[in-house]
Chains A and B, each alone.
Chain A
Amino acid sequence: EPEVTQTPSHQVTQMGQEVILRCVPISNHLYFYWYRQILGQKVEFLVSFYNNEISEKSEIFDDQFSVERPDGSNFTLKIRSTKLEDSAMYFCASSVTGEQFFGPGTRLTVL
């Protein structure tokens, strides 16, 4: 069964460093998303991407964040200068329409 994959599973970085989180969505899906979940809190939407451009973004998704679909399979989230409060699980999701399927997540720890 096709699934969304994410790498790395864990990332530890120093405050101020750039990180790139990678996702491979399900191959025939058209919509791509990033969400995050701070430990013990609910899942929060960051950004959605459709037809090679951002279709929606939340107030969390500020200038420090960017997304790219550099080729036909990968979907990346870049955080330019990480802050302590960026520590969270980051989930990628994809959909055709309706059901959103999530990857296993990347646990980002900012020290």
Chain B
Amino acid sequence: SQQGEEDPQALSIQEGENATMNCSYKTSINNLQWYRQNSGRGLVHLILIRSNEREKHSGRLRVTLDTSKKSSSLLITASRAADTASYFCATDAFSGSRLTFGEGTQLTVNP
């Protein structure tokens, strides 16, 4: 089964707008994490939300988790051109286990 499917696959917005990306998964999880990847570069950890949490904030980021729907969303508020990147969700089954990544959302923020 495929874990961590993001939608949309691509999102283009204007600077200052909010960007919302969604992630769905199929099996039970322990944690869900969001990562950013600039083209051809490494993965930058953004935020982790545990299965018993419903919402988490970090700066301009807001993550929600709905375990009943097996879905999560990442909201970036007041986007900047520098936020242009691919965003991935990744889930694990228990602490220390592998991460299973989704296909990612390519976000373009136009200045």
Count A-side interface residues using an 8 Å CB cutoff: 27
Prevailing SS type, chain A contact patch: strand
Instruction: Name the one of B45, B95, B97, B100 contacting A102, with C-beta atoms under 8 angstroms.
Output: B45
Contact A100 B41 (CB under 8 A): no
Instruction: Name the one of A42, A50, A107 contacting B96, with C-beta atoms under 8 angstroms.
Output: A50
Instruction: Name the one of B33, B96, B101 contacting A44, with C-beta atoms under 8 angstroms.
Output: B101
- What class of interface size applies to chain B in its complex with A? 20 to 34
Does A27 lie at the interface of the complex (its beta carbon under 8 Å from any beta carbon of B)?
A: no
Residue interface mask A24-62, B partner, CB < 8 A = 1: 000000110101000000111100101000011010000
| B contact residues around A101 at 8 Å (CB) | 45
Quote the shortest CB–CB distance from A100 to chain B (angstroms).
6
Which residues, 46 to 100 on A, are CB-close (under 8 Å) to B?
48, 50, 55-56, 58, 89, 91, 93, 95, 97-100
Q: Which residues of B contact A (CB under 8 A)?
A: 31, 33, 35, 40-45, 48, 50, 88, 90, 95-104
Q: Which residues of A contact B (CB under 8 A)?
A: 30-31, 33, 35, 42-45, 48, 50, 55-56, 58, 89, 91, 93, 95, 97-105, 107
